[in-house]
Structure 1
Amino acid sequence: MKIQTDRFILREILPTDIDGMYELDSNPEVHKYLGNQPIGHKEQLVDVINFIRQQYLDHGIGRWAIIDKKTQDFVGWAGLKFVTNDTNNHIHYYDLGYRLIQRYWGKGIATEVAQACLQYGFEQLNLKEIYAMADANNEGSNHILRKLGFRQIESFDLEGILHFWYKIEKSEFIAK
């Protein structure tokens, strides 16, 4: 399973991505709007990677590693996830997510790879709708979601923090 954009390859997250995942998830700035709980040890990521890999088997989809075509560096992850637990009174839905190592912020990467993920979801998986959520204070992520064509349809409380709930339908999506 591989998707390509102009600058990046999106592929399955592998156990060998543990160093990149550690750089990503040990950074407090990356976790500022994700509950402020960065990881402290690489060993914590073994279960995370195994969980993601199990999603590929169970649902045929999951978060993908973002790999820079020129350098082959791990940049972060992006992708669709089939959510089976209740979030904001929703269950069994496809969620778009992305997370980048801090040194790659502000370069249009999240928008580029998220666009590719949406295209895959609508064109290859034939999904009717895709959801996303973001901390209300995360201006960067909220901007990206709106730029991609998501509509904010609700606000909700997630563990005491205001979040925005977004949706985009296949009929609203414009492939670029």
Structure 2
Amino acid sequence: MDNKIKLEKFNEKDFLYFFQLVNNEKVMEMITERAIEVDEAKIDFEKLIKKNKINEHFGSFKVFNAETNEFIGLAKLEIKEKNSPEVELGYMILPKYWGKGIGNKIGEQLIKIGRNQESIQRIFAIIDPKNLASRKILTNNGFTSKEFKDFDGLPGEILELTL
């Protein structure tokens, strides 16, 4: 597979794309340690759509293969409030696309979006410390480890990139 990807912001009609990811045990293993069922996923999706409206440049994006238009996953560059100087980078990729360099492509595109906004000074990511693949993608893109922290009972490592 060619690694050309395209990002499109999630909209209200995209719940099934989102649910494909969050209901997949393998995808969620290093995020929530469990698949998310439909009722909880609908609540999470509503929050995602609301956050997508904060700033036109930031939010959660569907990731597609640019040539075949196959759905690959989710990429997020999330801003918490309108004029925040920092954004959170994250992604979820369907397992059949793992190990193909797509996570790195997503990371590169999201960092580019962040760099193109003068107001953004910091991009951070939170990963499961056991997720060595994500850690490698982030450190290869200039992120450094800042701290280890507990997130709702789950271990997390915060990495950051200062712009």
TM-score normalised by L of structure 1:
0.79
Match of 2:106 in 1: 113
Match of 1:87 in 2: none
Residues 1-176 of structure 1 correspond to what in structure 2 (within 5 A)?
7-41=4-38, 44-60=40-56, 61-83=58-80, 93-170=86-163
Structure 1, unmatched stretches of 5+, are: 1-5, 85-90, 171-176
Q: CA offsets per residue over residues 96-153 of structure 1, 9 Å max, x none?
A: 0111111111111111011111111111354111111111111111111111110012
Letter in 1 for 2:160: K
Q: Does the 8 Å contact 1:77/1:100 carry over to 2?
A: yes
Q: Does the 8 Å contact 2:122/2:160 carry over to 1?
A: yes
Measured in 2, the distance between the counterparts of 1:128 and 1:19 equals 34
Match of 1:3 in 2: none
Structure 2, unmatched stretches of 5+, are: none
Measured in 1, the distance between the counterparts of 2:154 and 2:46 equals 28
Aligned length: 158
Q: CA offsets per residue over residues 141-174 of structure 1, 9 Å max, x none?
A: 111111111001212222344321111111xxxx
Pair 1:72–1:32, CA change in 2 (3 A): same
Letter in 2 for 1:165: I
RMSD: 2.1
TM-score normalised by L of structure 2:
0.85
Q: Which has the higher contact order (CA 8 A, sep 6+)?
A: 2
